[in-house]
Amino acid sequence: MIEKSLIDDPSLPITTYNYSAVRGRLAKHELEVSLPTIITRAKNLGCYQARPKKKVHDHEVVTTAIGALIQHDASLHRWSPYVEEKWALITSLDDFSRKLLYADFVSSETTWAHIRAAEILMRINGLPFQYYVDSLRVFRFIQGRDSMWRKHFLQTDEADPQWRQVMRLLGVNVVHALSPQASCRLFLCAPQPIVACR
């Protein structure tokens, strides 16, 4: 029932019950109960949720070396049932090796938090060839269309946000995902033979 309250809470990223953990707790009290019995009891109590079908993993590695492309993103959630506030988890993943090069929680997703994440990654691993990011305001200037009330003078990508300026100064190319789905499924190709890290 404790897990049910966590699963029913839409602000938490918890989606499944752990029936094996219940069996493990019972075993500590010298009670041997089979997993199907626990699941049947859970169903009767309204504490059952079928496991979701696994999504087909369609990621294709398109780089040819470590350091060729860093996938950088952030996710805002209430990461623990014991806290009320949401935290942003900033991560950076090497496309070729699939190694997680950076991960940290921040209280708010700011330009400085992303610059600091890039700095830590590059101090440890060297300069990557390019970063793959979404079109968040931190990474890209996107301007809407003109309206009768407002005239825009700068169009999309005619101004560089601070994070992009830092990448430009370091000589690191930036590639933007064209949709939220694309930021999870890399589809852009890196140049053919490339130097992994400078």
d(CA 10, CA 4): 12
What local confidence, expressed as pLDDT, does residue 58 receive? Answer: 55
Strands (E), the chain: 69-77, 87-94, 100-106, 130-133, 173-176
Residue 85 has pLDDT above 80, yes or no: yes
> CA triplet 118, 121, 127: central angle to 5 degrees?
85
Average pLDDT over residues 117-134: 92
Residue 50 has pLDDT above 60, yes or no: yes
List, in sequence order, every residue forming a beta bridge with 105; answer none if it has no partner.
89
What local confidence, expressed as pLDDT, does residue 119 receive? Answer: 95
What are the extents of the domains in the chain? 2-44, 69-184
The residue type found at 52 is P
- The two tokens of residue 10 are 């839409």
Architecture of domain 69-184: 2-Layer Sandwich (3.30)
d(CA 134, CA 78): 21
* Residue located via tokens 């860093």: 70
Query: Helix 35-44 crosses helix 19-28 at what angle (to 10 degrees)?
Result: 110
CA gyration radius for the chain? 22
Q: State if pTM tops 0.95.
A: no
**Is 113 in a helix, a strand, or coil?**
helix
